Amino acid sequence: MKSEEATTVRARPEPIRAVPVRHPGRWVAVAVLGVLTAMFVHVLVTNQAFNWSFMVDKMFRPPIIEGLLRGTVLMTVSAMLIGVTLGVVVAVMRLSDNPILRGVAWLYTWFFRAVPRLVLLAVFGNIGILWSRIEFGVPFDTQLGQLFGIDNLQLRLFGFSSRDILTGFMAGLLGLALSEAAYMAEIVRAGIQSVDPGQTEAAQALGMSRGQLLRRVVLPQAMRVIIPPTGNETIAMLKDTSLLLYVPVSVELFFQLDAVGKRTFQIFPMYVAACLWYLALTSILLVGQYYLERHFGRGYGATGQARARLRALGGGAAR
């Protein structure tokens, strides 16, 4: 029996003939995209309305560069710094156990997220109508004087004319920064809530105060969640600086490009120049956002888990 079994040779199955799946729809889409790209390039090269030589000559002039640096870049950085700082404060208020702080923070985010930024900038651009002077001192001093029979009681230390303080740049900065703080508050709140509650409990068991807990435990871990949307908010802020045209802020990139276009009756080339400038600036911010995300994302994911396991094994061997 054994010999018969040994002599018996099983027939080997034929190799599977794999037939690749065809995707004709993909090739049709590629062909359509190729035709559209060729048409777009043809318009860029042949259409005289772009007036490339005029555009390149004007978009690097000193007033444009000054508007780029002193207006767009400076406004973006300043508004984001104020917005992020105030947003962290509002987020902590939203998470507070005090109902008054929670209510005030909710009202703040509700108002500044509900009002469009263009409308908000228009309001702040004309807010000097409310006060001719901005003064610092004891509030309600005149009313208190009338209550105690003292006419024209003035308990004010110093003051400024609203025209000197509420310039176009300052009004635009207030409008953008206060609006951004409402969005950043929600981003920071979501980041804080993404941290495991056990981390907070462990920090409290070590005797950390609430401020130390936020600075040393919660916020460093929440940055992994906060950074990506903050990068998107920064890019949106960069683009929203073009709304300062309606405040108005004269030292700003889009204002200067628009002024050159209207003065020379070459509006379309200057609008294309604005698109190119914003594309270049946004590309720089995207590179910075990539490296920030990679930095704060270290230790997470498959690579981070393997690294953590290696550290744990190394620590166990050392003990």
Describe the crossing of helices 74-94 and 99-114 by its angle, rounded to 10 degrees.
140
Count other C-beta atoms under 10 Å from residue 94's C-beta: 21
Residue 299: the pLDDT is: 59
3-state SS of 2-14 is HHHHHHCCCCCCC
Contacts of 278 (CB under 8 A, 6+ apart): 238, 239, 242
Q: Which pair of tokens denotes residue 303?
A: 């690579």
- For residue 287, give Cα distances in angstroms to 81, 247, 283: 19, 31, 6
Provide the terminal-to-terminal Cα distance of the chain, rounded to the nearest Å.
62
Q: Are 223 and 191 in contact, with CB atoms under 8 Å apart?
A: yes
Residue 7: the pLDDT is: 53
Averaged pLDDT, groups of 10, the chain, 319 residues long: 55 75 88 95 92 92 92 94 94 91 95 94 86 79 76 77 82 94 93 83 81 80 86 93 89 92 92 95 92 74 42 39
- For residue 230, give Cα distances in angstroms to 83, 137, 287, 290: 10, 37, 14, 12
Q: Are 252 and 65 in contact, with CB atoms under 8 Å apart?
A: no
Residue 300: the pLDDT is: 58
Residue corresponding to tokens 């870049």 = 73
Q: CA 147, CA 159: separation in Å to the nearest integer? A: 24
Residue 312: the pLDDT is: 36
Amino acid letter, residue 308? A
Residue 281: the pLDDT is: 95
Q: Which domains does the chain have, with CATH numbers?
A: 49-131+166-295 (1.10.3720.10), 132-165 (no CATH)
Residue 110: the pLDDT is: 95
Count other C-beta atoms under 10 Å from residue 213's C-beta: 17
- For residue 124, give Cα distances in angstroms to 7, 87, 241: 96, 20, 14
Q: CA 53: distance to chain centroid?
A: 34
Radius of gyration of the chain (CA): 31
Q: Is the peptide bond before 248 cis (omega within 30 degrees of 0)?
A: yes
Q: What is the pTM of this model?
A: 0.78
Secondary element (H or E) of residue 136 = strand 133-137
Describe the crossing of helices 99-114 and 168-193 by its angle, rounded to 10 degrees.
120
Contacts of 300 (CB under 8 A, 6+ apart): 224
Residue 272: the pLDDT is: 94
Contacts of 180 (CB under 8 A, 6+ apart): 79, 80, 82, 83, 84, 87, 233, 237
The closest of 105, 294, 296, 285 to 219, measured between CA atoms, is 296
Residue 73: the pLDDT is: 94
Residue 78: the pLDDT is: 95
Q: CA 68, CA 287: separation in Å to the nearest integer? A: 19
Residue corresponding to tokens 């635009």 = 172
